[in-house]
Amino acid sequence: MAGDDEIEGGNRDEEQIHYNSANLSADWPFNGTNELTNTSMSNPMSNIWDHHPTSSQNLGAFCDVNLQNNPTTSSSSLGFRKGNLLVPQRSLDMGWAPPDSAIKRGGMFLPPAASAMLPHSLSQFPADSGFIERAARLSSFSAGNFEDMINPFGNVNDSSLSPYSSRSVQGQAQEGFVGNGFKSASGDGSKDMSLPVDCGANDGSQPKQGGSGFSGNNGTGDAEYSEGGGQDGNSNEGLGSKKRRRSGQDTEYNQAKRSPQTPSDTTKNNTEVQQKADNTPSSLVNKSGGKHGKQAQSSDAQKEEYIHVRARRGQATNSHSLAERVRREKISERMKFLQDLVPGCSKVTGKAVMLDEIINYVQSLQRQVEFLSMKLATVNPRMDFNIEGLLAKDILESRLGPSGPLGFGGDMAMPYTPNQSQMAVMQAGIPGVGTSSDAVRRTINSHLMALGGGYKDHTSQVPSSWDDELHNIVQMGLNPGTPVSSQNLGSTPPGHLKAEP
Amino acid sequence: MSPPHQPTSINPNSLKIQLAYRFLHNLNNINTKRSNLDHTQINRKSHRVKVAAYASMAFVTGSRRAWSRSILRKIRNRGVLARIKKRVDHKASRVRVHHHLNARSTKRRNPSCSNPNGDYIDPSGNLGLEVKLRKLVPGAVMMDACGLLDETADYIKCLATQVEVMRTLVDLYSTI
């Protein structure tokens, strides 16, 4: 303990600089308030580096990684900084012992840093006495607990550096400290309170690595818990069973309220304990949220242990009901898509009403088809219709070839087909209403050949819209005298005409 | 044109173009096959145009969708049936074929599938709405709700495009 103070005091200034230089490179949005904490945090970190060269390197790397990983949200980065401040205080006493163990474990770099940071934070917060009390209390725990307690710090590191199983626990432990710290500090203000809260947030954002699958979830859960009650609730819902898997280390950080538990101990307790700790600070920040978070978490934790599909709060977790829920979600997703398709259905909610609208729309579309077909039959009783169809068919057969319309790229034959159909219309006008389809076809082909390449100009002007093309067809039909440049119409051998089905 | 499993991947422009060409193709076929179209009843012709429209829709969509498959099947059956009946009895078959054609759009060709559209309440409590939809969308009678909605979406998309093509053609021809 004395050594701790020594270390903290001596290296504070130096390491502050080190840390700042190292960490400022990360995108931490430092506020005025945060800078103070940041510097304090930097000191402990650099302290650790000095005292534990091996770990310091890792820690530095971790700090950078952490910092870089956390710029996503100012709150999370804030939390990280603040959390580091507070947590180290507590772990300071234990920090020096546990760092060895942590290092042994191979991943706990942060705890030493945290412990080093304690002195700074202690100096900054008027409630240092409270922290020290907790540190003492924590130090009274068994050595295994120390390791576990340190884990939260190392957890943050681990998440970024190496996949240690204690990751999640560490994060939660961190939060536990924070909560405790807040409890004692209480009067420090929102800033302090938010510090440890965000600590968890950092943790949450970090642990996405493989390791144990639940660790990531736990981290996020922790982060969310710390951030606020409302968030806690959400996070709880999202995390579900995975939170239960948290090691017992979480409980340790809940201040002297309960005996420390080994990481392998009941995860439930850990989650609950952690939630308590989280709830405390969160209650200071957001009372209702913490309660919700805890309740949600416990309820979620109790709900599913091994199922990877998350059951929402208040929902049955029977495998049948889960499958049913998945099926319902699929159906609702399709209904949403249909909503976009059917015009004027954006405000409609409810499956039955939506179905009704869809049915009406389909019926109206079918009626429209019928009406339009009747109109087409009346409007175009002549063979112009056929000729155009003939030409289109010929073009289809010649252009599309064996691939058929399905393989139709659309753009390739497009410039040709409209022109050819235009010419078809033109041709139709010339021979008049054909007597037999073959005769008409022959006439058309001959005319097409005569016209040559035809409408290269038109091909280059591929109309943007289909309507334009059709209008071009009409225009071509009305202007048979338009000069036609040579085209690949010759590529349409008359033999293709016979290939009609 | 589009992956078979994604309902949203059909490019409306390319679909429109393909539909248009296919529709013209079918119209032409119908007009050429039955040369008595032009001067016979408008009803018959309009019905054939409608059949051509659905056929072009189904052809463009191909076998990817159940509704297109069912339409194609109906058309082929109708064609085969018509040919058989023509051989048996020329006049009578034509009448029967027309009757069948008239009934094609909303019912399955198979007479055994004639379900009365009762408003009985489904187990799902949909008041028979779903059944109605199943009847409207061809080939979706024996499908689960998820697939039914998929088919409906695709069918609506294709139907809307076909309507657009036909409307454009009508405008085109009416302005000539």
Q: Residue A46 to residues A57, A151, A225, A289: CA-CA distances in angstroms?
A: 10, 19, 29, 36
* Cα angle for residues A342, A343, A345 (degrees, 5° grid): 80
User: pLDDT tens for residues B61-86?
Assistant: 888 888 888 888 888 887 788 788 77
Q: Cβ of A323 under 8 Å from any chain B Cβ?
A: no
- Report yes or no: A156 and A202 within 8 Å, Cβ to Cβ: yes
pLDDT at B36: 53
Q: Chain B residue with minimal CA distance to A331?
A: B146
pLDDT at A141: 52
Inside any domain, residue A371: yes
Q: What is the pTM of this model?
A: 0.39
Inside any domain, residue B29: yes
Supply the range of the domain harboring residue A330.
Answer: 319-378
Inside any domain, residue A184: no
DSSP string, A408-446: --SSSSTTHHHHHHHHHHHHHHTT-S-SSHHHHHHHHHH
Inside any domain, residue A437: no
| Average pLDDT for B11-34 | 72
Q: Which long-range contacts does A51-58 make (Cβ < 8 Å, 24+ apart)?
A: A51/A7, A51/A11, A51/A112, A51/A116, A52/A99, A52/A103, A52/A109, A52/A112, A54/A103, A55/A99, A55/A102, A55/A103, A55/A108, A55/A109, A55/A112, A56/A109, A58/A109, A58/A157, A58/A161
| Average pLDDT for B42-47 | 77
pLDDT at A352: 82
Total structural domains within chain A: 1
Instruction: Out of A252-266, A346-360, B48-62, pick the least confident.
Output: A252-266
User: If DSSP states are collapsed to H, E and C, what string results for A154-185?
Assistant: HHHHHHHCCCCCCHHHHHHHHHHHHHHHHHHH
DSSP string, A231-280: HHHHHHHHHGGGGGGS-THHHHHSGGGS----TTS-HHHHHHHHHHHHHH
Q: Cβ of A383 under 8 Å from any chain B Cβ?
A: yes
- Mutation site for B-interface testing, chosen from A393, A412, A438, A462 by largest number of B Cβ within 10 Å: A393
d(CA A371, CA B163): 10
pLDDT at A225: 41
User: pLDDT tens for residues A171-192?
Assistant: 444 444 444 444 444 444 444 4
| Average pLDDT for A446-458 | 41
Q: Which residues of A touch B38 (CB under 8 A)?
A: 381-383
Residue A316 has pLDDT above 70, yes or no: yes
| Average pLDDT for A391-416 | 46
Supply the range of the domain harboring residue B16.
Answer: 12-102+119-174
d(CA A22, CA A42): 9
Nearest-neighbour CA in chain A from B142: distance (Å): 17
Inside any domain, residue A441: no
Contact between chains at A393 and B172 (C-beta distance less than 8 A)? no
d(CA A120, CA A44): 7
Closest by CA position to A176, among listed A124, A253, A279: A253
Inside any domain, residue A179: no
Q: What are phi and psi of A239, to 5 degrees?
A: -80, -45
Contacts of A347 (CB under 8 A, 6+ apart): none
Percent of chain A surpassing pLDDT 70: 13
- Report yes or no: B159 and A345 within 8 Å, Cβ to Cβ: no
Total structural domains within chain B: 1
Q: Residue A125 to residues A107, A297, B38: CA-CA distances in angstroms?
A: 29, 31, 96
User: pLDDT tens for residues B110-139?
Assistant: 444 444 444 455 455 556 667 778 877 887
Closest by CA position to A155, among listed A247, A274, A257: A247
Inside any domain, residue B4: no
Nearest-neighbour CA in chain A from B103: distance (Å): 12
Residue A362 has pLDDT above 70, yes or no: yes
d(CA A359, CA A339): 12
Q: Cβ of A442 under 8 Å from any chain B Cβ?
A: no
Contact between chains at B167 and A338 (C-beta distance less than 8 A)? no
Note the ipTM here: 0.74
Residue A423 has pLDDT above 80, yes or no: no
Which CATH number covers residue A361? 4.10.280
